[in-house]
Amino acid sequence: MSHAAVILSYLIASVLFILGLKWLSSPATAVRGNRVSGAGMLIAIVVTLLDQAILSFEVIVAGLVVGSAVGLWMARSVKMTAMPQMVALLNGLGGGASLLVGGGEFLKSELVNENLTLDVSITIQLSMLIGAVTIAGSLIAWAKLQEVMTGRAITFPGQKVLNALLFLAVVVLSAYQISVPESLLWPFYAVVGISLLLGILLVIPIGGADMPVVISLLNSYSGIAAAMTGFVIKNDVLIIAGALVGSSGIILSQIMCKAMNRSLANVLFGAFGATSASTKTAEGLTARQTAADDAAVQLAYAKSVIVVPGYGLAVAQAQHLVREMADLIEKKGGEVKYAIHPVAGRMPGHMNVLLAEANVPYDKLFDMDQINAEFERTDVCLVIGANDVVNPAARTDPGSPIYGMPILNADKAASIIVLKRGMGAGFAGIENELFFNPKTAMLFGDAKGSLQKVVTELKAL
Amino acid sequence: MIEALLGSVVIFTLATFLGVELINRVPTTLHTPLMSGANAISGITIAGALIVAGGGHGWISTVIGFLAVVFAMINVVGGYAVTDRMLQMFKRKPGAK
C-alpha cells in the first residue's frame, strides 16, 4: 500500500470510531454505532498488517486467533451481574497491551543498540507508566468486584506519602532514561515494577460504593495508554481513538462523582468505605416488620408503585421475579415504574442493563431527576436491595458521610416496603433511618425468596 | 522531531475535546454499553502490538509482541461482542416478551 492510502485508511477508521461513539449515545442507533466502530477497528488492523514490514505472520495469526477466541468466549459467557468485572478485566488487558508495546519497543532499541529520539523516548516511558498502572489497578478492581479480595477500602498510615514517593521515583527514573542516549535495562525494570505497584496502591484504598468511579477512571487510563503507544509508533489513529476513550472515561467518572456529591479527588484519595462512620445509631428505634402476604395485598390494591432496585436485587438474581411481580400488579390495574439512581449497581448504567435483561421495557425506567417528584403521589414504594441511595440522612443529617448526596425520595411515598436480608448497614456502612420510618414495613429475607412469595400471593389474590 | 511530536499533541488535544462533546449527552440507560464499547476502541493498541509481534527482532520481542496481540485482541473482540450482546437486550420493543 502507498503511504497516502495508509494514512487515508487510518483516517477512515478514525471517522468510524467517532461516528460509532456518536451513535452509541442514542438507544435507536446504538447497535449500529457499535458495529460501525468495530468496522473501523477491522480496517485499522488490516491496514497495519499490509503496511508494516511484518516478517513473521505465524505469531501474529496465533495471537489474533487466541485473543479473539478468549474474547468471544468471555463476551458470550459473562453474566450481566458480572459486567463490571468484565469491563475491569478488559480495561486491564488494554492497558497491559500498551505496557507491552511500549516495553517491546524499548527492548528492541536496547537489543539493536539504537538510540531513541527524544519524543519516542518520552512517550515510551509514559505508555509504560500508564499501561502498568491500568493493568495492575484493573486487576485489583476485578478482584474486589469478584470478591476474591475484600471490597472495602484498604488503608494504612503513610499511604499517600508512599504513593507520592513511588510516583516521584518513576518520574526520576524515566527522566534519567530519557536523558541518556542508550537504552538501559535497570531503569526499565524499575519503572515497570514501580508503576505496577503504584497501580495496586492507587486502587486498594477505594472501596464499596465508589467502584463505579474507579472502573470509569481505569477505562479512561486504558484510552490514554493507547494514545501514548500511538505517539511511540507514530500512528494517529491510536492517538485519536485513545483520546476519545480517555475523555469518555473521565466524563463518566464525573457523572458518577456528581451523583454522589463528591469530588473526584475525594473518591480517589478519601478512602470513603474504610470505616463505618455512622453518626447516628439505631439504638432505641424499632423497625416494623411485615410478611409476604400482607405486602402482596398492599401491592395488589396500589394504583401506583415505584420500584427502587439496588445491587442486592442483582446479587439475588431476582430481576425476572420483579418483572413477573410488576406484570401481576399491572394486570390488577396498578402502574409500576422503576426509579434508577445513577450509582445503582456497580458501574454506570449497570441496573438498566440488568433490568433490560429481564425484559423490563426501558420506557418504564426513570432517572432520579425524572421521577423524584412522583414519589409524593405514589401509593407504594418498593425498595429492593437498595440502601444508601434512599437514605434520608443525605438530606437531613449534616454529620452523615453521605450528606448532600442526591437520593431517591422513597420516604415521600404513602407507604414503603423494604426488601432486605437483615438490618445490616449498607455498602457505605451507614444506618438508614428510612427503615425506622412509621410508614415503612420491612420484609426480611433473601430478595429472590421474598419476591417469590409475593408473586405467589399476588397470583392467589 | 519535536515538531512532529507537537503535531501529534495537537491531534490528541482536539480528539479529547471531541470525545467530551460526543459523550456528554448520553442517557444513563446506555452508560454501561457505552463504557464497554469505548473500552473496545481502546484496544486499538492492537496496531502497535502487531508491529512489535511481527518485527522479527529476536525471541523476546516476539514473545512480548505475541502477548500484546493476545491482550489487545481479547480487549477488542470481547469489548465489541459484549457491547453488542447488551444492546440487543435494549433493542426489544417496549412491552414485548
DSSP-assigned letter for residue B55 = S
Specify the CATH number for A292-460; select among 3.40.50.970, 3.40.50.1220, 3.20.20.100, 3.30.1490.150: 3.40.50.1220
Average pLDDT (A45-71) is: 89
Alpha carbon B25 to chain centroid, angstroms = 20
Contacts of B46 in chain A (CB under 8 A): 41, 44-45, 48, 97
Look at residue A136 in the predicted model and tell me its pLDDT.
Answer: 97
- The tens digit of pLDDT for each residue in B54-72 reads 877 788 888 999 999 999 9
Look at residue B50 in the predicted model and tell me its pLDDT.
Answer: 92
Contacts of B55 in chain A (CB under 8 A): 53-55, 108
Domain boundaries along the sequence of chain A: 1-77, 79-274, 292-460
B59 touches chain A (CB under 8 A): no
Residue in this structure with the C-alpha cell 523476546, named with its chain if needed: B60
Contacts of A80 in chain B (CB under 8 A): 86
**What percent of chain A lies above the pLDDT cut of 90?**
51
- The tens digit of pLDDT for each residue in A5-43 reads 999 999 999 999 999 999 998 888 999 999 999 999 999
pLDDT of A162 higher than 70: yes
Copy the grid coordinates of residue A87. Answer: 469491563
Look at residue A99 in the predicted model and tell me its pLDDT.
Answer: 96
Look at residue A361 in the predicted model and tell me its pLDDT.
Answer: 85
pLDDT of A58 higher than 50: yes
Cα separation, B76 vs A41, in Å, equals 8
Nearest Cα residue in chain B from A341:
B28
Is A414:A376 a contact under the CB 8 Å cutoff?
no
Cβ separation B85–A76 shorter than 8 A: yes
pLDDT band at B1 (very low <50, low <70, confident <90, very high): low
B75 touches chain A (CB under 8 A): yes
Among the listed residues A210, A388, A397, A411, the single catalytic one is A388
Cβ separation A243–B15 shorter than 8 A: yes
B16 touches chain A (CB under 8 A): yes
**What percent of chain A lies above the pLDDT cut of 70?**
95
How distant is the Cα of A5 from the closest Cα of chain B, in angstroms?
16
How big is the CA angle at A188 (ends A182 and A191), to the nearest 5 degrees?
135
How distant is the Cα of B10 from the closest Cα of chain A, in angstroms?
10
Look at residue A454 in the predicted model and tell me its pLDDT.
Answer: 92
Cβ separation B73–A64 shorter than 8 A: yes
B5 C-beta neighbours (distance < 10 Å), count: 17
Contacts of B13 in chain A (CB under 8 A): 243
Look at residue A385 in the predicted model and tell me its pLDDT.
Answer: 85
Cβ separation A222–B47 shorter than 8 A: no
Look at residue A430 in the predicted model and tell me its pLDDT.
Answer: 67
B3 touches chain A (CB under 8 A): no
Nearest Cα residue in chain A from B43:
A94
pLDDT band at A275 (very low <50, low <70, confident <90, very high): very low
B18 touches chain A (CB under 8 A): yes
Whether residue A388 lies in the annotated active site: yes
Q: Which of A157-161, A249-253, A276-280 has the lowest mean pLDDT?
A: A276-280
What would you report as the CA-atom Rg of chain A, rounded to the nearest whole angstrom? 25
Cβ separation B88–A231 shorter than 8 A: no
pLDDT of A273 higher than 50: no
pLDDT mean across residues, chain B: 88
B44 touches chain A (CB under 8 A): yes
Look at residue A425 in the predicted model and tell me its pLDDT.
Answer: 60
Task: Output phi, psi for A69, to 5 deg.
Answer: -65, -45
- The tens digit of pLDDT for each residue in A224-260 reads 999 999 999 999 999 999 999 999 999 989 888 888 8
Average pLDDT (A63-79) is: 96
- What ipTM score was computed for the predicted complex, to two decimals? 0.93
Look at residue A396 in the predicted model and tell me its pLDDT.
Answer: 85
pLDDT mean across residues, chain A: 88
Q: Mutate which of B9, B20, B51, B59 to test chain A, going by most A C-beta atoms within 10 A? A: B51
- The tens digit of pLDDT for each residue in A165-215 reads 999 999 999 999 999 888 888 999 999 999 999 999 999 988 777 888 899
B81 touches chain A (CB under 8 A): yes
